[in-house]
Structure 1
Amino acid sequence: MQEDNDGRRITGKLKSVECREKILALSCGDAHIILLSEEGRVFCLTQSSNVPRPVGNLNQVIQVACGDQHSIALTQDGNVFTWGQNSSGQLGLGKGEPSTLSPQPVKSLSGIPLAQITAGGDHSFALSLSGAVFSWGKNSTGQLGLGDTIDRPAPAPVDCLNLKKTITVSCGVEHTAILTKGGLVFTFGSGRHGQLGHNSLRNELRPRLVAELWGAKVTQIACGRNHTLAFVGSFKKIYSFGRGEQGQLGNGVKMDQSVPLPVQLPQGRIDDQQIEQTFAGGNHSFALCSSAQESGKGLNDSNLGKVTQTLDGDIINRWISDCDSTSWKKIQKEITKTFSSASCLNGSFLDKSRDKHYQTSLKHSGLDLSFARLAFQKLAQKDKVLAEVEDVVQRILLPSLSKDPIGVEGLRVYLIIPELLRVLLKQHRIDIIGAFVFAILRLNPDKFQVLEGLWSTLPDTPFRTLVKTFHYVSAEYLRMMAEEVCDVKETFEGTVKVMERLYEVNCNRRIKIAASNFHINRANQMLQNMLNTIVYYDYLDLPEAFFYSCHRQSCIFNTEAKCIVYQLELNYSFAIHGHLAFWIPTIHVSRETALEDAFQHLRQSGHDFTMPLKVKFQAENGVDEGGVSLEFFRLLGRELLKMEPKTLEVYESGLAWFTTDDGGITDEFYLLGLLCGKALFSQCVLNLCFPLALFKKLLGLTTTLDDLKELSPTEARGLQDVLDEDEEVVEAMDVVFMYKGQELIPNGEKVPLTMVNRKKYVDLYVDMKLNKSVQSQFADFEKGFHKGFPIQAWRMFLPEELMTLLQGDDNYEWDKLRENAQYQGYRPTDDIIQNFWIVFMEFSEEQKKKFLTFLTGTDRLPRGRSLSKLQMQITCLGSTEADEYYPKAQTCSVTLCLPNYSSIDILREKLLHAITHCDAFGDF
């Protein structure tokens, strides 16, 4: 029965339809019927013909649905096809697409594992296995649930239904109903006839809970054209609401009803019957019943409710047990069907414990990756099966992945595949990696960002697997490049790009893995070979892009490799500016006024910052080949901490920070930064005892309470107490949002500290202390630093590495100094050498550091010149009267000129005098 255009009811005639295939399901539109056969084929009936006509080339279809003038089909591998009228975008094919008689794939749903498709008048819905809801088409009354009345030509996620555990969607002509696993019903769209059940006739643009059904635990819903049914299985009751003009509400009257009321079922006739399923047609309703003994049999024998195929343990067990039998060809087809479909994989390995997969969100994938790991380990038991899976994934799946998956579920494949790669890499099969890398890099930026969010919340083991996979392959590609086995440069660069993103994710993870997991040690030798073989002017042939790539890919370099790149880039800079070398003035300074002389020199407008600094101490003979500069910056380190007016304030920790009182200071912060940059550029140490916070700020990283703990332990301890104490203690502290007379927030003096706002208070306090209170000072320092170090190599380093690069290494491995020592004119077994090492090892720690200063010009070794790498040369200072002379040091070549003393006592006396009193170059 239906209505014509004038509202008159028309009773149709029963017709017999013959079909060669067994019909499993059907769906009706305004003037057409779609039939689904047991073999998964689709047929269509129209008003003009009762002969089933095949629809396109659709195969393996598991669900069909009809709107008024359009149709939808879902295939076993998760693809959705639509055809028919597209006046309101109900086909979901995208903006501007015309109506069509042949089924077209809805590409934007590619990769989503679907549980249900359904259609209303001119709108459509799809429901994923994890409860994500997508809608498209006409939206004149809000029937898409998106909060507006704008039509959608392509599927859009109904975000407000996320985490609701949706299990069923049903559509009327202009309204929609949603059923959750917990038995709640939400409705939205047209309320003109009360079909939303909210005791009003108002339209709803967003899903709204049907309050009258609260607590009833609904188990089924069904929408007619303008009415809705809800079945409560535990009560054996069906509730109806909406249009009732033709008796479709089953309440004995022909009136509209805006609240759910029970359907008047025949008394006594269903007491021994079970209601299997409720249905709502255009303007009619009915319930399918069976006896208690036969309950569920009819439905279980049909394909109704079939969902996208997924992979499970039973399937894998069958594959590996039957792969050597005559069933292999069938297994091959199943492997192809499963592993060529992102939808199938994305619906597999779901974490169903406590319905966790329904919690899928930007921070939770809904996967049980331990299950995936075990599954692929089992597949690996049969190389024949694993090879087939590998081939299908590489040849079909990865090239077909969408660059713009519509939801989080569409990205699950990028978390599952690494578990397959893990077992493949154990067999050194890496060919598939390239395809996977390029699939990741094809993702649109916003989707890549979502994937990074999922990476950031992975448990430790899967995240390590991910990193190890790309690390192993990157190292292998680097080996191939070095050995020129094949051209893998593009693939190597792609894998390193993914490593970079993983490294950034790791930096923001709550529990981080060590940076060494990203380092490729093979890179050290390759870079060292470059450093050893490239001569000065050959640097001009190096493309500047090489250094840009090194900066961008710095996560694969350990500190040693970064130092080599740093040296290469310095050499490159010196080479391209080498023609200006004769312009470089040597700065002449006095030891007594070194800082003042340095500032005066740097203030001169003609200073060249493209070359390293050269220093000449007045009245001294030393020539600056590196050692004089080291001594110069050592002196500056002492003077800068004592200068007036103060630029730096030394804290209880012994560390220095910018003074907040900058009265009387003009350009000193800029010059301080300039000297720090110049020290780095000249490969010298300038130890100003800065905390790690400075280097984090230079690198654009956020400072935290831990940084304040390093600088000012007592101050930070008070803030930690604020975070740790009980409520009574916190509120008794009588603290407001102020910092040394400055408000941390507007009206901060009136905002008391509480348990609720204490973390905010601590964060604002730390930000004020380390950032805002010294904002202009740091800005001037940073400007000077960039000026003094005109290349970008320093950006590769971690804060800890950059700190050591500038302030030197105080990890003194004194035994290494002896191990690496070389001798000229002496032998290691000579008495003078044996006595020297006896005396040296007798020295106190402070005396050893003075010796180091005497030998190298600094008591803190530059990065890359630790004692384990420092090769001191001890040479014989020839003289007929050796006992009259003191030892000499050639700092540039790290050489100790040692007279052949007649006794250990004289050696001890002369050496101590030399390291204690020799403050000038060329004294001896």
Structure 2
Amino acid sequence: MLCWGNASYGQLGLGGIDEEIIVEPRQCEFFTGKVVRDVGCGRRHTVFLLEDGTVYTCGCNDLGQLGHEKTRKKPEQVMALDAQNIVAVSCGEAHTLALNDKGQVFAWGQASDGQLGLTNIEDCMRVPRTVKSLSEVHVVQVSCGYRHSLALSQRGHVFSWGQNRFGQLGLGKEGPCVLTPQIIQSLQGIPFAQISAGGAHSFALTMSGAVFGWGRNKFGQLGLNDNTDEFEMLYCVKRIYAGGDQSFAHFRSLQDGSPPDDLRIPHCNQHILHLNEELVQKWLSHAHGSHKRLPAEMTGEIDDIFSSASCLNGSFLSRSHPDHYGTSTKCSGVDMNAARLLFHRLIQPDCPQISQQVADSLGRNLIPSLCSSPPDIEVLRLYLILPECPLFKNPSVYITLTIPFAQAVIQLSNTPLKVLGNWWSRLEPSTFQGLVELYKEVIVYLLRMKSMGIAASEHRTFTCFLSTCLKFLEILHSVNERAGQIIQYDKFYIHELEDLVDIRSDYVTWFQHQMFSSGMDSPVTLCKYPFVFDAQAKTLLLQTDAVIQMQMAVDQAERQNFSSLFLPDGMVESVNPCLILIVRRENLVEDTMEVLRKSKNVDYKKPLKVMTSLIQKI
């Protein structure tokens, strides 16, 4: 261990030396024969983490930042953490955080700005205490700014607390201190691998190598003024570091092919929270051919992955080519084939426990969390990945998974929906057609339910489900048309409609709403989505429309004739409710064309009455 810098408070751990400033690296004899895993430097104190999980501190202790009652110029063990296996430490200006192997966070030191995440304390805490508000979160990385703190969860969520004078908490605005950890909602769904807190600014690094920064920028520490594209195109950020008023990034070229360092893996025996072949094999080997409940550990792993947009998002990034480092409106960076293969390997009929847990986690946690305005383009990858899961094709989960997913898509605002449409248009035709076929099957399933009878209390819910699926299919149809037909237009036909729906009645309902809508909720009619009708159904629609138009023309003529009886002569002209065609046998064509030439558009909708010198026929 080498130390240098300000030693006036004993923060270098060199013991009782006379110098206050050490200008070149000097070996700290205390750590001879010991393996140091991590070091945290505060303004006037230092924390050391040894390989065995023990924590030592030295330096100034005026605010309890050492975690014990002594002010020592040599490192002293924090005995309050003796029973813990600490895996990471971090120092702020005068506060300290420690993380154990169970994902629990301990805090001590200055608390005047809420930087400890503890409630009901005064200006400082002199012994480590658990941050209870994070007790339900498995934290994998902590980072301290001067007077604020960050935590990264195993699910990829970023939490912040403490001083927010410069917006360093990322909560959307500057403001007062935040005393307890808050999840940064604007970063939900992005697969983060690292966090780093500077003096009054913060960074988070995604699995794709993209860096998000927020907070104070007086000295350009956020790097926002560099708007060239070259850096993003040529380099992948591996690690991020935030100092007081400066920032650093360690990068490699894209040709290197390796992703950013995932600090959610604090040591080598911790599982990566991505869906991968190793995890799937472990789950299947335990569940195969057995109907016993899964162990709590495996249930927790499945729930963590399939409840987290970040975990699934980072599971299928394209590794064979660094596309995901340049994710854009035209490139999703997702390896769709890898997603399809791994999902099909995981969801198997003889492992119902796994399928049930996956369905529960998706339906209860993940899909309800999808928002209409995702914080970044990377979040949209999830909308490509999820339908590849075979569970979505299971009728037993249409109501809990497939339809809610469609609802999440149609609720997207215009910009993300346009991006998603661009990505859909670049899918393999077979993949895009699979998505279309899936929702055609859901619509048929719903219509069959209706034909068998639905309770009055469930009618509104059923209508909502059917409307959602039709709107989703309409979005896919629009994408298909804009892209110049990824698949043939007839692939959208639902041939079962004639057996399941009274098309004439459906058209009449739609027509009446178009003519007499009073602004109330419109009924769900298939005629609003004509692309689902095949040629035979469309013929029936045209015939129905012709009958309606004819009757309307007759009714209009009769109303006009009735009005003419009560109004002064010439004000309303009486009209014939039929189109009269008087022809001579020897001059049929000429007479017909002459009558049609003199007729109005409305006359063409009337019943046709043909008259000759011998007969008349309607």
Counterpart of 2:70?
Answer: none
Name the CA shift for 1:539/1:33 in 2 (closer, same or farther; >3 Å).
closer
- What is the aligned counterpart of 2:472 among 498, 502, 523? 498
Query: Following the alignment from structure 2 to structure 1, what is the Cα–Cα distance between the partners of residues 550 and 265?
Result: 81
Equivalence map 1:447-596=2 (5 Å): 447-485=416-454, 487=459, 488-509=462-483, 512-526=486-500, 530=504, 549-576=525-552, 578-582=554-558, 583=575, 584=577, 586=579, 591-592=589-590
Equivalent pair of 2:387/2:435 in contact (CA under 8 Å): yes
- Please tell me the root mean square deviation across aligned C-alpha atoms, in Å: 4.0
Query: Following the alignment from structure 2 to structure 1, what is the Cα–Cα distance between the partners of residues 308 and 513?
Result: 48
Counterpart of 1:350?
Answer: 317
CA drift of 1:497 comes to 0.6
CA drift of 1:594 comes to 6.3
Equivalence map 1:189-588=2 (5 Å): 302-303=266-267, 309-323=273-287, 324=290, 328-381=295-348, 382-420=351-389, 422-423=390-391, 425=393, 429-431=397-399, 432-485=401-454, 487=459, 488-509=462-483, 512-526=486-500, 530=504, 549-576=525-552, 578-582=554-558, 583=575, 584=577, 586=579
Query: Following the alignment from structure 2 to structure 1, what is the Cα–Cα distance between the partners of residues 44 and 514?
Result: 85
Gap regions ≥5 residues in structure 2: 9-19, 22-42, 46-58, 60-72, 111-123, 559-574
CA drift of 1:138 comes to 2.0
Deviation string, structure 1 residues 338-377 (Cα, Å, up to 9, x no partner): 1111111111122211333323222222222222222222
Does residue 245 of structure 2 align to residue 169 of structure 1? no
Look up the SS of the partner of 1:430 in the other structure.
helix
Query: Following the alignment from structure 1 to structure 2, what is the Cα–Cα distance between the partners of residues 220 and 503?
Result: 36
Further displaced range: 82-91 or 459-468? 459-468
Query: Following the alignment from structure 2 to structure 1, what is the Cα–Cα distance between the partners of residues 104 and 218?
Result: 34
Name the CA shift for 1:55/1:161 in 2 (closer, same or farther; >3 Å).
farther
Match for 2:95: what amino acid?
Answer: H
Look up the SS of the partner of 1:30 in the other structure.
coil
Deviation string, structure 1 residues 125-153 (Cα, Å, up to 9, x no partner): 211111222222223344333349xxxxx
CA drift of 1:470 comes to 0.8
Equivalent pair of 2:510/2:528 in contact (CA under 8 Å): no
Name the CA shift for 1:373/1:608 in 2 (closer, same or farther; >3 Å).
closer
Name the CA shift for 1:11/1:115 in 2 (closer, same or farther; >3 Å).
closer
Counterpart of 2:194?
Answer: 116
Further displaced range: 74-83 or 507-516? 507-516
Equivalent pair of 2:87/2:99 in contact (CA under 8 Å): yes
Query: Following the alignment from structure 1 to structure 2, what is the Cα–Cα distance between the partners of residues 110 and 63?
Result: 17
Query: Following the alignment from structure 1 to structure 2, what is the Cα–Cα distance between the partners of residues 505 and 408?
Result: 18
- What is the aligned counterpart of 2:103 among 40, 43, 49? 40
Equivalent pair of 2:359/2:391 in contact (CA under 8 Å): no
CA drift of 1:543 comes to 7.8
Match for 1:80: what amino acid?
Answer: V
CA drift of 1:121 comes to 2.2
Query: Following the alignment from structure 1 to structure 2, what is the Cα–Cα distance between the partners of residues 30 and 305?
Result: 32
Name the CA shift for 1:560/1:444 in 2 (closer, same or farther; >3 Å).
same
Equivalent pair of 1:540/1:572 in contact (CA under 8 Å): no
CA drift of 1:434 comes to 2.2
Counterpart of 1:52?
Answer: 128
Equivalence map 1:771-810=2 (5 Å): none
Name the CA shift for 1:576/1:181 in 2 (closer, same or farther; >3 Å).
farther
Counterpart of 1:255?
Answer: none
CA drift of 1:176 comes to 3.0
Deviation string, structure 1 residues 422-466 (Cα, Å, up to 9, x no partner): 355367653332222222233233222222222111122321221
Equivalent pair of 2:236/2:259 in contact (CA under 8 Å): no
Match for 1:364: what amino acid?
Answer: C
Gap regions ≥5 residues in structure 1: 149-156, 185-216, 222-276, 278-298, 626-924
CA drift of 1:337 comes to 1.4
Does residue 207 of structure 2 align to residue 129 of structure 1? yes
Query: Following the alignment from structure 1 to structure 2, what is the Cα–Cα distance between the partners of residues 343 and 592?
Result: 75
Name the CA shift for 1:113/1:570 in 2 (closer, same or farther; >3 Å).
same
Name the CA shift for 1:579/1:341 in 2 (closer, same or farther; >3 Å).
same
> How many matched pairs?
497
Look up the SS of the partner of 1:609 in the other structure.
helix
Equivalent pair of 1:349/1:369 in contact (CA under 8 Å): yes
Equivalent pair of 2:140/2:264 in contact (CA under 8 Å): no
- What is the aligned counterpart of 1:23 among 50, 73, 86? 86
CA drift of 1:540 comes to 6.6
Match for 2:317: what amino acid?
Answer: L
Equivalent pair of 1:63/1:306 in contact (CA under 8 Å): no
Look up the SS of the partner of 1:512 in the other structure.
coil
CA drift of 1:538 comes to 13
Look up the SS of the partner of 1:167 in the other structure.
strand
CA drift of 1:169 comes to 2.5
Equivalent pair of 2:466/2:524 in contact (CA under 8 Å): no
CA drift of 1:322 comes to 0.9
TM-score under structure 2 length normalisation: 0.70
Match for 1:134: what amino acid?
Answer: F
Match for 1:173: what amino acid?
Answer: G
CA drift of 1:527 comes to 5.1
Query: Following the alignment from structure 2 to structure 1, what is the Cα–Cα distance between the partners of residues 526 and 395?
Result: 31
Counterpart of 2:570?
Answer: none
Query: Following the alignment from structure 2 to structure 1, what is the Cα–Cα distance between the partners of residues 259 and 309?
Result: 30
Equivalent pair of 2:155/2:310 in contact (CA under 8 Å): yes
Counterpart of 1:145?
Answer: 223
Equivalent pair of 2:141/2:264 in contact (CA under 8 Å): no
Deviation string, structure 1 residues 264-314 (Cα, Å, up to 9, x no partner): xxxxxxxxxxxxx9xxxxxxxxxxxxxxxxxxxxx9995399897211111
Name the CA shift for 1:541/1:309 in 2 (closer, same or farther; >3 Å).
closer
Query: Following the alignment from structure 1 to structure 2, what is the Cα–Cα distance between the partners of residues 383 and 411?
Result: 29
Further displaced range: 425-434 or 64-73? 425-434
CA drift of 1:74 comes to 0.3
Equivalent pair of 1:506/1:512 in contact (CA under 8 Å): yes
Query: Following the alignment from structure 1 to structure 2, what is the Cα–Cα distance between the partners of residues 158 and 130?
Result: 18
Look up the SS of the partner of 1:562 in the other structure.
helix
Look up the SS of the partner of 2:315 in the other structure.
coil
Deviation string, structure 1 residues 172-198 (Cα, Å, up to 9, x no partner): 3333333333189xxxxxxxxxxxxxx
Name the CA shift for 1:540/1:557 in 2 (closer, same or farther; >3 Å).
closer
Query: Following the alignment from structure 1 to structure 2, what is the Cα–Cα distance between the partners of residues 31 and 318?
Result: 44
Name the CA shift for 1:433/1:511 in 2 (closer, same or farther; >3 Å).
same
Equivalent pair of 2:157/2:188 in contact (CA under 8 Å): yes
Look up the SS of the partner of 1:412 in the other structure.
helix
CA drift of 1:472 comes to 0.9
Deviation string, structure 1 residues 887-924 (Cα, Å, up to 9, x no partner): xxxxxxxxxxxxxxxxxxxxxxxxxxxxxxxxxxxxxx
Look up the SS of the partner of 2:427 in the other structure.
coil
TM-score under structure 1 length normalisation: 0.48
Deviation string, structure 1 residues 398-445 (Cα, Å, up to 9, x no partner): 11222222223212222222122x355367653332222222233233
CA drift of 1:75 comes to 0.4
